[in-house]
Chains A and B, each alone.
Chain A
Amino acid sequence: MAESFEPKITAFVCNWCTYAGADLTGTSRIKYQPNVRVLRLPCTGRIDFMLLAKAFSRGADGIIISGCHPNDCHYTSGNYHARRRWMVYRDLMDFMGVDIRRITFSWVSAAEGGKWAELVNEVTTSIRAMGPYTAYKAMVAAGVE
């Protein structure tokens, strides 16, 4: 049985660190798996976790959230807010039955081109192994009833 499933990964990244880090990956010509689609935000603090729910409901199989390292936020504290929200939200998602293994929260700085490639590859590989996230749509549908 040939498994030709290719996961769809949506990445929410901050403009100043991770986006720049991903640019560096490009400039360094480091190759990684092409399944990720990067959405640019000014700061991880901007991320309202409804966006994640939307991404899943639109068929994303995996999500990456990435921003500046703690203490390095371009806007001083946006990443702290993001981290705090994530701590609470993760437990909530888990409680509701969402597969939180499919969400990866990480810090990639503008100098870490290699790390970005590694991260994408790691996540893509692990999501591929988990299979498509059809359970989410089913869950939402069940809720609607």
Chain B
Amino acid sequence: MSRIGVFICHCGENIGGTVDCAKVAEATRSVPGVVHSVDYKYMCSDPGQNMIKAAIKEHNLTGVVVAACSPRMHEPTFRNAVAEAGLNPYLCEMANLREHCSWVHEKGEVTTQKAIDLVRVMVEKVKRNEPLQPIHVPVTKRALVLGGGIAGIQAALDIANSGHQVVLVEKSPSIGGHMSQLSETFPTLDCSQCILTPRMVEAARHPNITLMTYSELEKLEGFIGNFKATIRRKARQVDEKLCTGCGLCTTKCPNKKIPDEFNEGLSTRGAIYVPFPQAVPNKPVIDRSNCTYYKTGKCKVCEKMCPTSAIRFDQQDELVTLDIGAIVLATGFKIMRSDKFPEYGYGKSKDIVDGLQFERLASASGPTLGVMKRPSDGKEPETVVFVACSGSRDRSKGVPYCSKICCMYTAKHAMLYKHKVHHGKAYVFYMDIRSAGKDYDEFVRRAIEEDDVSYIRGRVSRIYEEDGKLVVMGADTLQNGRPVEIKADMVVLATAVQSQDGAEELAQKLHVSYDPYKFFAEAHPKLRPVETNTAGIYLAGACQAPRDIPETVAQASGAAAKVAGLFSNDELTREPQIAVVNRMPPPVWSTCVGCFLCQSACAYQAIEQEEIKARDGSVIKTVAKVNPGLCQGCGTCVATCRTKSIDIQGFSNEQIFAEIQTL
């Protein structure tokens, strides 16, 4: 038999001023099942809560309704109070008399009547509430970080330093990412590799971090705290235990014509190579698609030359399966290439380069050792034009968003150029200058005032080659749109930042949502920027949206904090308002017919198949089962079920029908 207690709050004048609380309490007293109905000024206060606790004990209440503000406000408060009095917290509900009643209606009989209705609805619901226990799910305290750029490295280090195991997976042969390709970083003009390589080494040597380079995620199964990740460790064709990193093989490889990815195609490398001198791990890799031995069966010079006989041509890819508790996605970005610009010659000219190529030209470890030489003929460029917003903020190029980092790196590039070629002329064609970070605007002003970079506000409509020069046709909108034509020796396009290749496939493997540009989606744009909608998978860095290094590092640490928080418990506690498929005694076992419509409706892959077996092991029927670790309690499956075999604890069909009945 139900013994419900109703507690009506005046909330000072907030409710009491419009609703006749005493009358509501009186009306509720006559509802069958209600044994105690009072009103009070401030229910959430200490005396108010004590009143509820005392009443529970005194009247042996089996359920409580607090009629006050919105449950989104104080449901946890009252559930806690109720729990302290020994009653299951899920037997406490709130009726919203403030936001949905007193604050939106005029004082009067009608409003009071509405308040009475709202309270009665919740009384009927509570009568049918079941005591629920929070769900406990074990947690594997090992994190998987996908991506070995600065985001992945930072996240891995933070998680490892908080005492947990981390596996850092990177698909290229070395960690470091795009940051390792940069020459100097804004706004300090720090040498990029100088600040990055110590972190790379730390990550490689950290006792809690297992580095898997030249590896990719093959498959992921499971749920938060209990993932099973299968990693494909691609064959380097080198025995890493024997290899000393001497590099002799890379100098002897006869096939040296392969475009070097690290130098963005500005130089070539051999088929056996180390991506860059500071690579971590500093072990070479054979590029099988370009290796003479794999194509024709001849050569093997590297094997002959290796002093420790570390080359293994028959080495195979290895699949490793790991138990993982949380995943951090840090797969980074790519940039648009110059061949996407018909108006700039379809990428024909070697002297029209993109931002990363310019970084390599400016870098002391780059193809020109940091000397400013243009790619086509090696001449020192005397006039360089920088085109900002190339592709970004342009719907016709499919990139309506701003790539965020280009205004800053364009100023940086112009400054680097001027530092190396003092008498050179640098022009920047821009639309707006977005330099919103700390010391950022001062940095851009420096380029203009100290390094004499000319900023022209206008876009470039066409670039063509004539007489060994690049004719840049733009406009100066601050001078009434006057056409500007500059004959440049080199042009640097600040091309759009785009999502990484393969981002969509990876997101689908992980069941993570992504936006139309294939950037991974955060759980909430304002308040949950490092989580995804998939429990246990977090985001760090540019794989979520274009961003610069300081923000990436901050976000990576944020993701690491979430992971550490998750790992700080041995068990995960979850709200128990989840779906359950009914189970009954034999011979029915369950009214579920095994159509699994619920499974396809579930956005969280929380429905599994369960075989109900007879004593001899034969399968009687296959029914649906909800994974309590994954279910988020949305109820879509309940509405989809044709036989009404699945229901949500806390929002069951019976409860909602009862609510409707009262109206």
Chain A interface (Cβ within 8 Å of chain B)? 6, 8, 10, 15, 19-20, 22-27, 29-32, 34, 37-43, 45-49, 51, 54-55, 58-60, 74-78, 81-82, 85, 117
Residues of chain A within 8 A (CB-CB) of B636 are 43, 45-46, 75, 77-78, 81-82
- Say whether A25 contacts B639, CB under 8 Å: no
Residue B111 at the A interface, CB < 8 A? yes
Q: Which of A15, A29, A37, A75 lies in contact with B118, CB distance below 8 A?
A: A37
Residue B100 at the A interface, CB < 8 A? yes
B577 closest partner in A (C-beta): A42
In the complex, 26 of the A-B residue pairs with CB atoms within 8 angstroms, ordered by the A residue number, are: A10-B660, A15-B72, A23-B70, A23-B99, A24-B99, A34-B104, A37-B114, A37-B117, A37-B121, A38-B96, A39-B656, A39-B659, A42-B634, A42-B651, A45-B636, A46-B635, A46-B638, A49-B639, A54-B657, A54-B660, A59-B663, A75-B634, A76-B513, A78-B634, A78-B636, A82-B639
- Say whether A26 contacts B100, CB under 8 Å: yes
CA distance A16 to B96 in the complex (A): 15
A81-B656 contact, Cβ under 8 Å, with A23-B99, A34-B105, A37-B117: no
Shortest Cβ distance from residue B314 to the other chain A in the assembled complex, whole angstroms: 46
- Say whether B632 contacts A75, CB under 8 Å: yes
Shortest Cβ distance from residue A45 to the other chain B in the assembled complex, whole angstroms: 3
- Say whether A26 contacts B661, CB under 8 Å: no
Q: Which of A31, A40, A43, A54 lies in contact with B104, CB distance below 8 A?
A: A31
Residues of chain B within 8 A (CB-CB) of A58 are 660-661, 663
- Say whether A46 contacts B603, CB under 8 Å: no
Shortest Cβ distance from residue A144 to the other chain B in the assembled complex, whole angstroms: 19
Residues of chain A within 8 A (CB-CB) of B105 are 31-32, 34
A78-B656 contact, Cβ under 8 Å, with A23-B99, A42-B634: no
Shortest Cβ distance from residue A64 to the other chain B in the assembled complex, whole angstroms: 13
Known: A74-B634, A76-B604; 8 extra A-B contacts, CB below 8 A, are: A6-B110, A24-B99, A27-B99, A34-B114, A41-B651, A42-B651, A43-B634, A75-B632
Shortest Cβ distance from residue B636 to the other chain A in the assembled complex, whole angstroms: 3
A74 closest partner in B (C-beta): B634
- With a 10 A CB-CB cut-off, give which of A34, A38, A78 has the most chain B CB atoms: A34
CA distance A20 to B96 in the complex (A): 12
- Say whether B634 contacts A46, CB under 8 Å: yes
- Say whether B648 contacts A46, CB under 8 Å: yes
Residues of chain A within 8 A (CB-CB) of B533 are 76
Shortest Cβ distance from residue B510 to the other chain A in the assembled complex, whole angstroms: 14
Residues of chain A within 8 A (CB-CB) of B99 are 22-27
Shortest Cβ distance from residue B660 to the other chain A in the assembled complex, whole angstroms: 5
Shortest Cβ distance from residue A29 to the other chain B in the assembled complex, whole angstroms: 6
Residues of chain B within 8 A (CB-CB) of A34 are 101, 104-105, 110-111, 114
Residues of chain A within 8 A (CB-CB) of B639 are 45-49, 81-82, 85
Interface residues of B, count at CB 8 A: 42
Q: Which of B103, B638, B657, B663 lies in contact with A37, CB distance below 8 A?
A: B663
**Hey, what's the 0/1 contact readout for B641-663 against A, CB within 8 Å counting as 1?**
00000001001010011011101
Residues of chain A within 8 A (CB-CB) of B103 are 25-27, 29
Shortest Cβ distance from residue B75 to the other chain A in the assembled complex, whole angstroms: 11
- With a 10 A CB-CB cut-off, give which of A6, A24, A26, A74 has the most chain B CB atoms: A26
A39-B660 contact, Cβ under 8 Å, with A26-B99, A45-B635: yes
Residue B640 at the A interface, CB < 8 A? yes
Residues of chain A within 8 A (CB-CB) of B106 are 31
Residues of chain B from 329 to 344 with CB closer than 8 A to chain A in the complex? none
CA distance A6 to B635 in the complex (A): 32
Residue B345 at the A interface, CB < 8 A? no
Residue B366 at the A interface, CB < 8 A? no
CA distance A25 to B118 in the complex (A): 17
A75 closest partner in B (C-beta): B634
Shortest Cβ distance from residue B569 to the other chain A in the assembled complex, whole angstroms: 24
Residue B421 at the A interface, CB < 8 A? no
CA distance A27 to B637 in the complex (A): 33
Shortest Cβ distance from residue B576 to the other chain A in the assembled complex, whole angstroms: 13
Shortest Cβ distance from residue B376 to the other chain A in the assembled complex, whole angstroms: 47
B533 closest partner in A (C-beta): A76
- With a 10 A CB-CB cut-off, give which of A29, A42, A51 has the most chain B CB atoms: A42
Residues of chain A within 8 A (CB-CB) of B604 are 75-76
A11 closest partner in B (C-beta): B100
Shortest Cβ distance from residue A48 to the other chain B in the assembled complex, whole angstroms: 4
Shortest Cβ distance from residue B4 to the other chain A in the assembled complex, whole angstroms: 18
Shortest Cβ distance from residue A61 to the other chain B in the assembled complex, whole angstroms: 11
A27 closest partner in B (C-beta): B99
CA distance A24 to B639 in the complex (A): 28
A48-B653 contact, Cβ under 8 Å, with A74-B634, A77-B603, A78-B635: yes
Shortest Cβ distance from residue A120 to the other chain B in the assembled complex, whole angstroms: 9
A10 closest partner in B (C-beta): B663
Residue B98 at the A interface, CB < 8 A? yes
Q: Which of A25, A40, A48 lies in contact with B638, CB distance below 8 A?
A: A48
CA distance A55 to B648 in the complex (A): 20
Residue B85 at the A interface, CB < 8 A? no
Shortest Cβ distance from residue B19 to the other chain A in the assembled complex, whole angstroms: 11
A53 closest partner in B (C-beta): B660
CA distance A49 to B660 in the complex (A): 13
- Closest A-B pairs by Cβ, 6 of them: A26-B99, A46-B635, A45-B636, A75-B634, A26-B103, A76-B603
- Say whether B632 contacts A29, CB under 8 Å: no
Residue B633 at the A interface, CB < 8 A? yes
Residues of chain A within 8 A (CB-CB) of B633 are 42
A51-B603 contact, Cβ under 8 Å, with A19-B72, A41-B651: no
Residue B71 at the A interface, CB < 8 A? yes
**Hey, what's the 0/1 contact readout for B69-106 against A, CB within 8 Å counting as 1?**
01111000000000000000000000010111101111
A75-B117 contact, Cβ under 8 Å, with A25-B99, A46-B636: no
Residues of chain A within 8 A (CB-CB) of B638 are 46, 48
